[in-house]
Structure 1
Amino acid sequence: MADKITKIEIITRPRKFEELKEALNNIGVMGMTVTHVLGCGIQKGMPQNYRGISYTTELLPKIKVETVICDVPVELVVDTAKRVLRTGEIGDGKIFIYDVSNVIRIRNGDEGKVALNNQE
């Protein structure tokens, strides 16, 4: 398998998802898995009030977008995500980049770059 395959995982605010999805589609990212997740980082949750009593939500709702790419440059995906998601405030999210050793399409056994291609 000669072509480098990379998985990019982006965790961010739910309200930014549609803008991110459109921007990624515009640069050629076609496949993605999206999961609603809960998490906290530096902010350790957000203070809330319920019937006059203050409490802290430990885990905040986030969206996790996972995509595996081969033809689209990793730097382009990362730069696009940063441009769309950056507000300069705590909670903008994180981007994780992983090397993928192989991809196998279960339906027909295709492997590597061919398995990522959505064409028949």
Structure 2
Amino acid sequence: MKMIIAIIRPEKLQCVKDALKAEGVHGMTITNVRGRGEQSGIKFTTRVGEFCVDEIEKVKLEIVIDNVLEDAAIAAIKENADTGHMGDGRIFVLPVERSIKIRTEE
């Protein structure tokens, strides 16, 4: 099994979820997060002056899937989260040793 962690733009969430569902990936954990990467924040100029927002709002998806779905899930995320601009996000893939359902202990 693999855990895929994807950090994406919030406005891309629904498209990514729909694409994952089409690939047979149904379960996921979604968390609103803030962070920064290479873009190092956004500068704004207002009447009061200039200021920088150092952290950008993103969404984190955590998905645990069978190994056979790994490539399809990554492709679905990449194709649907990509805007072609800096700040589109990252995908991390980690091995998962076990997954146990609490109710059924499967």
TM range (shorter): over 0.9
1:72 CA displacement: 4.8
Structure 1 spans left out of the alignment, 5+ residues? 111-120
The residue number in structure 2 matching 1:20 is: 16
The answer to whether the 8 A contact 2:2-2:67 is kept is no
Amino acid at match of 1:48: F
Give the Cα–Cα distance (whole angstroms) in 1 for the partners of residues 105 and 46 of structure 2: 54
Q: Larger relative CO (CA 8 A, sep 6+): 1 or 2?
A: 2
Alignment of 1:49 onto 2:51: no
Give the Cα–Cα distance (whole angstroms) in 1 for the partners of residues 62 and 79 of structure 2: 17
Work out the number of aligned pairs and report it.
Answer: 106
1:50 CA displacement: 3.9
Q: Percent identity?
A: 36
Decide which of 26, 30, 34 is 1:30's aligned counterpart: 26
Give the Cα–Cα distance (whole angstroms) in 1 for the partners of residues 57 and 42 of structure 2: 11
Amino acid at match of 2:72: L
Structure 2 spans left out of the alignment, 5+ residues? none
Question: For the pair shown, which has the larger CA radius of gyration, 1 or 2?
Answer: 1
1:109 CA displacement: 1.5
Aligned-CA RMSD value:
1.3
Give the Cα–Cα distance (whole angstroms) in 2 for the partners of residues 9 and 80 of structure 1: 13
Give the Cα–Cα distance (whole angstroms) in 1 for the partners of residues 50 and 64 of structure 2: 42
Which aligned segments of 4 or more residues in structure 1 are displaced greater than 4 angstroms?
none
